[in-house]
Structure 1
Amino acid sequence: MVTVKAAKAERLLNLVIALLNAPSFRTAAWIRQKVAGYGDAPTEEAFLRTFERDKKELRELGIPLQTPPNGADGYRIPRSEFALPPLSFTPAETAALALAGRLWETTALGAAGSGALRKIRDADAGDGSVETGTDASSEDPGEGGPDGAVQTLLQPRVRTSDPSFEPMLAAVRAQRAVEFDYRKDPGGPAEPRRLQPWGLVSFRGRWYVIGHDEIRGERRTFRLSRIAGELRPVRRGPAVRPPAGLDLLAAVAATVRRPVADRQAVLRVRAGVAAGLRRTAVTVTPIDQAPGWDRVQVPLGPLWDTARLLAGHGPDVVVESPADLVEATVTLLTGSLRAMRARTGQAPGPTPDEAPLFDERDSE
């Protein structure tokens, strides 16, 4: 049984093929008669509604659907604007493309990066080795030559550890507005925001989203690591359109302040553990009210990297401040706990607010 979504995809593909191979403009009447999927429309009005939706969707996908300059009824897709021209790359350019593809393969953009490389490879007028950057006769990219071991060992990565990265990327690609709570100051309260996102930018080692803030009515830039909680997509509303010609990187660079270098985290650390943290500590002070524990003050690096480091110490390290680091660490720990209980079938335990931060025996 063919689903409605599958039927629509097949109809759109048939329309693209028909208009791409057309020697001249095709009228709407010709499309209804000749293109499979349109002849089933019960009335002319139903056909026109379906056809208008399909035209809009093709243009939103970037497919160049043209009409006659004189405004007459007719449609075509110029092959020269639809397909990539034959491409040719030097060995250095081929290696750079392969490296760029590997850079993203473990992130939310992995599928998009692989698809882009595949299109470039198909249009490559050379030997088709764009995908790996090695000899095309080698079946294993990690072998087949003196550079094979280097390819396996030197594996670049882009960190996209912020939990809001993937849902924000999905909103950008779907051209949908989102709502979220945001901390303008790392230690301050979270405020509600409603944003029409235009794009994501990595700048100075941090990820930002730039777009139109509907609450403030102007362009704003937000650091993903300061988004508190989950993103809430706005289901209704017009598609988000970024301003034509906007340079996202330049816009973010012009608005982002340099990171504060002297931010510090205050931790409660069990005595005798976390030697790595103690080596970077600014101060280490025993806690009189909790024997066996020290209050440790350390420089605060990137938020989620620091949270992962601290969460890895389990019950031996408790984050006291700043508030955004406390929330990030609790989010990681509770997420791991939920995943473990889901795998083992255990009943839900106490919430983070109900659970003790350290054993009562340690304070006796």
Structure 2
Amino acid sequence: MATSNRPVAASDERHMHLLMRLLDASRPLTSDEIFATVEGYRAERGEDAPTRSTLEKRFERDRKSLAEFGIIVDSVPDPIAPDDRARWRFALSRDESAARTIELTAEETLLVDQATSIWAASDVAGLARRAYLKLLATGDSGVSAARSMPSTAISTDPAFTALHEAIANRRQVEFDYVNAGAESALRRHVVPLRLVVVDGRWLCNAHDLKRDAERNYLVSRIVGEVADAGERTDSLVARTDLPRVLAELAASQPARLAVRIGTDAETRLRQRASSILVDPVASESSGEWLELEVPSWDHELLADDLAALSTQVRVLAPDSLAAAVRRRLERMLHAHREQPEQAQPGREETAHG
């Protein structure tokens, strides 16, 4: 089971190695060839070496995982002994109806180039670059990088890798989770079903075994290590409409905000606003303000963002959001007064992403 100090899930890395090997092959490969050449199958020597049965089961799981992304690995029976599975070969599907043609514009080619250059995990960076080189055959590279291209590395929350591997391997997990607005974590025992990104934040759609109910957990609110809790024995299915449901929730509970014109707050929040209510509004103090309506499916998360913007933004409604922002600012002020010689601490207790 992956832990928080593992940058890439073993199954993810193995899937990429398998895909690259099949792409490079000029003919269908036997299972022996795959097991001998693909990282993640190559048998260890000694007592810990996996059995043939273990490798075959691992390969079948990987085929199913790739199929979920539309990548079909076909079985090619031996023409002389078609019923002998030991002699079967495997290749990527050539079915044109199932194939996905990738055609990249110049801008898209550049974005893929930039993305594969800034992976945080070194063990996947090389594979990502090689995959990008294969896409160049269908992409137009006639564009130059903009000055504003990102130069920082991309990473995910530490719990992401462990959850992703648990879903792929049908495992239950346990972890400590901080509820919205809480300061202490509670232990959760769940069946993780699907990882979904909504508004730039990863959520895990899961079934809480203690409550016997569906729950959606913000990955950034998981603290500590995600622990393996045994094999799944259920037939639960992940929901696929979570982004739509959260979008509807956000639209039903918008926040009304006033942001100071020309500030970072205006840049960030104006992009998220569903409407501009007053443009501009004179504030009681100096300066001009915009009044915005910002949809939000989690006001505690929004409170984290607004507290970081300090005096550049004011919460006009609802009162519960204003109180949540006030609590965060008071905590920061209290911590600063207690530690005057140290840098102001981060808002770790809010556990937001």
**The TM-score by the shorter chain falls in which range?**
0.3 to 0.5
Structure of greater Rg: 1
TM-score (structure 1 length as normaliser):
0.46
TM-score (structure 2 length as normaliser):
0.47
